[in-house]
Structure 1
Amino acid sequence: MTLELKELTGGYGQVSVLKKETFTVEDGQVVGLIGLNGAGKSTTIKHIIGLLTPRGGQILIDGLSLQDNVEEYRKKIAYVPEMPILYSELTLKEHIDLTIMAYDLDHDKTWAKAHELLKTFRLDNKLDWFPQNFSKGMKQKVMIVCAFMTDARLFIIDEPFTGLDPLAVNDLLNIVEEKKQKGCSVLMSTHVLATVQDHADKFILLNHGQVRADGTLDELKEKFDMQNGNLDDIYIKMSNEDQ
């Protein structure tokens, strides 16, 4: 089992956003993290990657917690944030070298992976470019390349389709499928439900910092009594429950 959240409670300052949140992401599984703005998706992700400290509960990756071994825990994760985070003074090549050093990866083997990804996302002729030369979509592609060239076991991607052209979206989904086939796991937070419905193995529906439902599309249809519905229909029904 790659990722386990056990009764996770946490948030910002004195405000508890997550309330005993429990779910798992198994090996070789793509999981969609779904919910309204403010439901707790980003807060959940920040706790998993270690930017926020839980007030209660536990987060384990392959049975390892952040407290057990910070370095080994973080090497198991690759993260693509919603808003690209790049260093203005570093070229694309230097961002890749920095990632290799941060993950303590084999230089030549990792550069071979990076070159394949750069070619896929049409960035292979832009190694000497600085972030100021990239569009938002191109910056997002740089983040994707830097994440998926690692040996991470768990890939966390937050609104990955924002700013990507249709070809890049297809390329990303193909890479996600390749990682899945190799036994890696992907936790994907997105509002593009039609796309994630076709590519995720199961879904976690968050509402007010709690897991409202967790399961495959067929299981969610049964839970919400919507046998003919799709993920959009289920999402809207869950969202309207509080109104």
Structure 2
Amino acid sequence: MSLNVSNLYSGYRQVPVLKDINFTIQFGEVVGLVGLNGAGKSTLLKTILGLLIPQEGRVEIAGQTIEDNHTLYAKQVAYIPETPILYDELTLQEHLEMTALGYDIPIETVMERAEPLLKMFRLDQNLNWFPTHFSKGMKQKVMVICALVTDARVLIIDEPFLGLDPLAIRDFTDLLKERADQGTAVLFTTHMLSIARDLCDRYLFLQHGELVAKGDLEEIRKQMGSPQASLDELYVQMTAGEGHG
């Protein structure tokens, strides 16, 4: 069982940002999507989520596309965006209840799953708070909790560690490992390569909308002709001459 992306072209206004993207992530794997800003990472994530329709190619979760069954596909994916998306008029508890409704999970089940996460992220006393009272880090933790209480088989995460304190980063990293051990596929973008190195089973190196390398660290080294390079050095090698991202 896997997330499978094949022959994918995707972008905006019929102009492809992504060109012939092919990869598979098995359920239970953690994969890091690495590249400069503007490489096409967000476009890829949005296409997997169904927010962008592929111009060509297919995105399948366990053999099913969003066109096959939109509702079932959507229930299999959870998303943690770079910038938290919360509703000012809803409390933390109401966000959890809305998540339960969206994924067709009993509210009692979601609240039971959320309880240890709320305690871990020190939000268990804030269920009646509105987002206007939350710091950016607290908002990010709410997004994390809402994603992790679902039954999603694929977690899509865009720069998950921005705004989180070191303790929260450690806890979140442990949660992602735990979720992968339970059979969830995790795909995330990050510029924090030290965390990616410790967390990821494999990597996707994206540049100018094309995958220039993919695999575990040894495979990436072979593909880029640098058998002794660290992950940081491989990233620098890929992005040399392109400025900062």
TM-score range, shorter chain: over 0.9
| Superposition pairs of residues 31-110 of structure 1, within 5 angstroms | 31-110=31-110
Instruction: Measure the CA separation in 1 of the matches of 2:208 and 2:26.
Output: 24
Deviation at 1:241, TM superposition (A): 6.8
SS of residue in 1 equivalent to 2:33: strand
Alpha-carbon offset, residue 232 of structure 1: 0.9
Q: Which residue of structure 1 aligns with residue 178 of structure 2?
A: 178
Judged with a 3 Å threshold, the aligned counterparts in structure 2 of structure 1 residues 136 and 9 are, in CA distance, closer, same or farther, namely: same
CA distance in 2, matches of 1:242, 1:93: 44
Question: 1:225 offset after TM fit, Å?
Answer: 2.5
**1:242, CA displacement in angstroms?**
6.7
Q: What's 1:9 paired with?
A: 9
Superposition deviation, residue 15 in structure 1: 2.2
- Looking at structure 2, the residues matched to 107 and 131 of structure 1 have their Cα atoms a distance apart, in angstroms, of 20
Task: Give the whole-Å Cα distance in 2 for the aligned partners of 1:12 and 1:225.
Answer: 34
| 2:25 alignment partner in structure 1 | 25
Question: SS state of the match for residue 191, structure 1?
Answer: coil
Give the drift of 1:116. Answer: 1.1
Instruction: Report the equivalent of 1:158.
Output: 158
In structure 2, runs of 5+ residues without a counterpart are: none
Shift of 1:194: 1.1
Give a deviation string over 1:41-77, Cα, whole Å, max 9, x none.
Answer: 0000000111111110000001110000000000000
The percentage of counterpart residues that share the same residue type is 48
Aligned alpha-carbon RMSD (Å) = 1.2
SS of corresponding position for 1:83: coil
Corresponding residue for residue 146 of structure 2: 146
Amino acid at match of 1:158: D
Quick one: distance in 2 between partners of 1:89 and 1:110?
20
Distance 2:9 2:161 in 1: 29
- Cα distance in structure 2, aligned partners of 1:185 and 1:97: 24
Distance 1:223 1:58 in 2: 25
Q: Which amino acid aligns with 2:67?
A: Q
TM-score by length of 1: 0.97
1:12 deviates by 1.0
CA distance in structure 1 between the partners assigned to 2:2 and 2:75 by the alignment: 13
Where does residue 115 of structure 2 map in the other structure?
A: 115
1:238 aligns to 2:231 (yes or no): no
Deviation above 3 Å: which 4+ runs of structure 1? Answer: none
Residue segments in structure 1 that go unaligned for 5+ positions in a row: none
Q: In 1, distance between residues paired with 2:120 and 2:166?
A: 13
Q: Quick one: distance in 2 between partners of 1:94 and 1:108?
A: 13
2:185 is the counterpart of 1:200:
no
1:149: how far off?
0.6
Give me the whole-angstrom Cα distance separating, in 2, the residues matched to 1:150 and 1:64: 19
